[in-house]
Amino acid sequence: MSELVKVVLGEDRLPRQWYNLAADLPHPLPPPVDAAGQPIGPEALAAVFPMNLIEQEMSAQRWIDIPAEVLGLLKIWRPTPLYRARRLEQRLGTPAKIYYKHEGVSPPGSHKPNTAVAQAYYNREFGIKRLTTETGAGQWGSALAFACQLIGIECKVFMVRISFDQKPFRKIMMRTWGANCVASPSTETEVGKQILAEDPDTPGSLGIAISEALEQAVADEQTRYSLGSVLNHVMLHQTVIGLEAKEQLELVGDSPDVVIGCAGGGSNFAGMAFPFVADKIAGSSQVRIVATEPESCPTLTRAPFAYDSGDVAMMTPLLPMHTLGHRFIPPAIHAGGLRYHGMAPLVSHALREGLIEAAALHQLECYQAAVTFAHTEGFIPAPETSHAIAQTIREANRAKEEGKERVILLTWSGHGLMDFAGYQAFFDGQLADHSLSDEHLERYTACLADLPKPPALG
């Protein structure tokens, strides 16, 4: 028996500032542009986001103060514990030390409320009374519902129809926190009515739900839209994860050789990684930083870096990012949070700069890794998180083959207690591995040829 290593920081150790990677990039991130390739100004986003968040989105200031009220809310579950996965190490027989940062202890069960409380706060400060958003499986919708309730504004969630019907529990979570959650497409928007008229039985899609949420935000002066990943200000709000982890590792006298996180839109990965990327840029660290994603949705590993829209209807500005094309239709894998066609521009750019690496994994390996984790550490991870765990096991096995000690730091983005349909399919042998074919990749990314191109590095 080895003794438990659980590093718990007091509330007073919660970071007071967010870290903004944009301040330190070797080459600046290309700006968002319009269809003609012209950089857009802050006003172009004003109908969708409050100006205080738009300023953060475009800021190049290295450290940004966390408002006192946001700190007070973050303290409900932060600082989150850092565990050493001793039993997992023993099971693998690896000389590697594995640490995981447990973001599943927040009330909605993932890292997402780190940005949800900040976004709800800035909107309320700007005089906004209601936020709209979209949600697939419901993780983001429930995080925003929680945040809006505690901040004191209304929350309206358009939930993709098929999930609304098949995954009732997240919907009830949102309701418990007082949000108004409707199935998308709905009869409340023009987009929704139009799509329902054409196809009354449509299962819906994230693209449709985004269009509905945007339509309602733009139509009302006191309503804005909120996005749970991808954007610069979301990456910024998540950096509390990495800032805390650094301090926790220092307390036990370790520093990571490898940092791992799964990447859907990139926010939990960036939140952990960016404070370590800063050390690499400063030349004081050689840490490897690995983003993991599904083989079936290989955005960072195979998709081009290009300007693309964030939604199917092309209502958003064009962002510079690794993208499978805005018309990408993801396969029905259970890691719902990893199925987005694009990737955070900051994460995409960091890959281009050679500051991070990426790896793609098959879902069977990920579910097996999730089960091994549950057997040894006890906690049951979200299917998204399992993509980081599987990579951790690969790195630990490599350390064993090489006979080298190695410190691995894993971002444990959330629990899987609302995701048992995926586990059941895995146990019943109903899941298969699926790679995106080159042919499909080419077909989906063909639309990028007609869009403006980001400048080459350097």
Ligand X SMILES: *Cc1c(COP(=O)(O)O)cnc(C)c1O
Q: Rounded to the nearest whole angstrom, what is the least distance from the CB of residue 338 to ligand X in the complex?
A: 6
Nearer to ligand X, 302 or 387 (CB): 387
Which region, judged by CB under 6 A, interacts with ligand X, from 125-133, 158-166, 267-275, 445-453?
A: 267-275
The residue of the chain with the least Cβ separation from ligand X equals: 414
Q: Which class for 205: exposed (0-12), middle (13-18), buried (19 or more C-beta within 10 A)?
A: buried
Q: 405: closest CA among 250, 255, 242?
A: 255
Nearer to ligand X, 97 or 339 (CB): 339
Nearer to ligand X, 208 or 335 (CB): 335
- Judged by CB under 6 A, the number of residues near ligand X is 19
Q: Rounded to the nearest whole angstrom, what is the least distance from the CB of residue 269 to ligand X in the complex?
A: 6
Q: Rounded to the nearest whole angstrom, what is the least distance from the CB of residue 382 to ligand X in the complex?
A: 4
Joined together, the tokens standing for residue 178 give 């007082």
110 scored as a contact of ligand X (CB under 6 A) = yes
Q: Rounded to the nearest whole angstrom, what is the least distance from the CB of residue 206 to ligand X in the complex?
A: 12
Nearer to ligand X, 15 or 228 (CB): 228
Instruction: Give the count of alpha carbons within 13 A of 156, CB side only.
Output: 21
Q: 333: closest CA among 264, 263, 434?
A: 434
345 scored as a contact of ligand X (CB under 6 A) = no
Q: Rounded to the nearest whole angstrom, what is the least distance from the CB of residue 282 to ligand X in the complex?
A: 25
239 scored as a contact of ligand X (CB under 6 A) = no
Joined together, the tokens standing for residue 399 give 């350390």
Residues whose CB falls within 8 Å of the CB of residue 207, separated by 6 or more in sequence, listed in order:
311, 312, 313, 326
Residue 69 contacts residue 224 (beta carbons within 8 Å): no
Site mask for ligand X (CB under 6 A), range 351-390, x = bound: -------------------------------x-xx-----
325 scored as a contact of ligand X (CB under 6 A) = no
How far from 32 is each of 38, 108, 344, 435, CA to CA, in Å? 8, 31, 12, 30
When binding is defined by CB under 6 A, the residue of 133, 232, 268, 309 that contacts ligand X is 268
Residue 110 contacts residue 104 (beta carbons within 8 Å): yes
Joined together, the tokens standing for residue 256 give 């990571």
Nearer to ligand X, 229 or 391 (CB): 229
262 scored as a contact of ligand X (CB under 6 A) = yes
263 scored as a contact of ligand X (CB under 6 A) = yes
When binding is defined by CB under 6 A, the residue of 101, 102, 112, 326 that contacts ligand X is 112
Q: 6: closest CA among 77, 75, 76, 86?
A: 86
Which region, judged by CB under 6 A, interacts with ligand X, from 4-12, 197-205, 256-264, 368-376?
A: 256-264
Nearer to ligand X, 318 or 382 (CB): 382
Nearer to ligand X, 98 or 382 (CB): 382
Nearer to ligand X, 32 or 141 (CB): 141
Strands 258-262 and 288-294: parallel
* Eight-state DSSP code of residue 222: T
265 scored as a contact of ligand X (CB under 6 A) = yes
113 scored as a contact of ligand X (CB under 6 A) = no
Amino acid at 293: E
Q: Rounded to the nearest whole angstrom, what is the least distance from the CB of residue 273 to ligand X in the complex?
A: 11
Joined together, the tokens standing for residue 3 give 């003794």
Which region, judged by CB under 6 A, interacts with ligand X, from 182-190, 263-271, 280-288, 306-314?
A: 263-271
* Eight-state DSSP code of residue 179: -
When binding is defined by CB under 6 A, the residue of 414, 426, 441, 451 that contacts ligand X is 414
Q: Rounded to the nearest whole angstrom, what is the least distance from the CB of residue 60 to ligand X in the complex?
A: 22
Q: Which class for 284: exposed (0-12), middle (13-18), buried (19 or more C-beta within 10 A)?
A: exposed
Q: For the segment 123-182, give every residue that binds ligand X (CB under 6 A).
A: 139
337 scored as a contact of ligand X (CB under 6 A) = yes
Q: Rounded to the nearest whole angstrom, what is the least distance from the CB of residue 384 to ligand X in the complex?
A: 3
Strands 63-65 and 318-322: unpaired
264 scored as a contact of ligand X (CB under 6 A) = yes
422 scored as a contact of ligand X (CB under 6 A) = no
Q: For the segment 210-229, give every residue that binds ligand X (CB under 6 A).
A: 229
CA dihedral 450, 452, 456, 458 (to 10 degrees): 180
114 scored as a contact of ligand X (CB under 6 A) = no
CA dihedral 348, 352, 358, 362 (to 10 degrees): 70
Percent of the chain that is helix, strand, coil (3-state, to 5): 45, 15, 40
Q: Which residue has the tokens 């400060």?
A: 125
Nearer to ligand X, 158 or 269 (CB): 269
Rounded distance, CA 205 to CA 191, Å? 12
Rounded distance, CA 48 to CA 213, Å? 10
**Positions in the binding site for ligand X (CB under 6 A):** 110, 112, 139, 229, 262-269, 337-338, 382, 384-385, 413-414
